[in-house]
Chains A and B, each alone.
Chain A
Amino acid sequence: SQTIHQWPATLVQPVGSPLSLECTVEGTSNPNLYWYRQAAGRGLQLLFYSVGIGQISSEVPQNLSASRPQDRQFILSSKKLLLSDSGFYLCAWSVFGGTNEKLFFGSGTQLSVL
């Protein structure tokens, strides 16, 4: 069965510090991978998606970047965090090119930038 792992679960970082959040998927090949952000009490904002290794598309301009060094690994990074980067970050995956449109989310990382 497929599983998605996301870590860390919580993170407190000072303004100006770097960020690295990691997500891995098991049990499937060549998944579409996504990073979403959820502000407190708000909806889901798509940040990045990837259809393959090294292929990253950004949905909104921001202080963040994403990388996909391996087929089932997706990393969200920042060189210098801003206060506005605080939020709940969710990694997700879906099956590439199939008719199964289900989107599966990780357990999320609560990031607080102080």
Chain B
Amino acid sequence: QQQVKQSPQSLIVQKGGISIINCAYENTAFDYFPWYQQFPGKGPALLIAIRPDVSEKKEGRFTISFNKSAKQFSLHIMDSQPGDSATYFCAASMKKSNYGQNFVFGPGTRLSVLP
């Protein structure tokens, strides 16, 4: 129930195309869904996040779509650029009783945007 599934494992997109990464979860106690972007040799950085009370959040070229009933959420990267080439992790988190947050990460998607 703590698992977050993510697909595809790798993705190749042409410059200017749309990149779509999908995630699914089981535990309905999750109440926060962030996406992280990681470049090789660096730590992951928070990209965009959504709460389950909204169905979509957009920040620039990055959009999260959230389907609460299906327990699925996805990241869309519009007008993909070579600089977007990185590994993307979805995550789900909930408040634990004794401390802040419990984060569960998907296995990651390696995105390559071809020039």
Contacts and interface: CB of A to CB of B under 8 A. Distances in A.
B44 A97 contact: no
A44 B49 CA distance: 18
Interface residues of B, number: 24
A46 B101 CA distance: 13
Question: Chain B binding site: helix, strand, loop or mixed by DSSP?
Answer: strand
Interface string B72-115: 00000000000000000101010100111101011110100000
A27 interface: no
Contacts of A49: 99
Interface residues of A, number: 25
Interface of B: 32, 34, 36, 41-46, 49, 89, 91, 93, 95, 98-101, 103, 105-108, 110
Given A44-B108, A103-B91, A105-B44, 5 more contacts: A46-B103, A96-B99, A102-B34, A102-B46, A103-B34
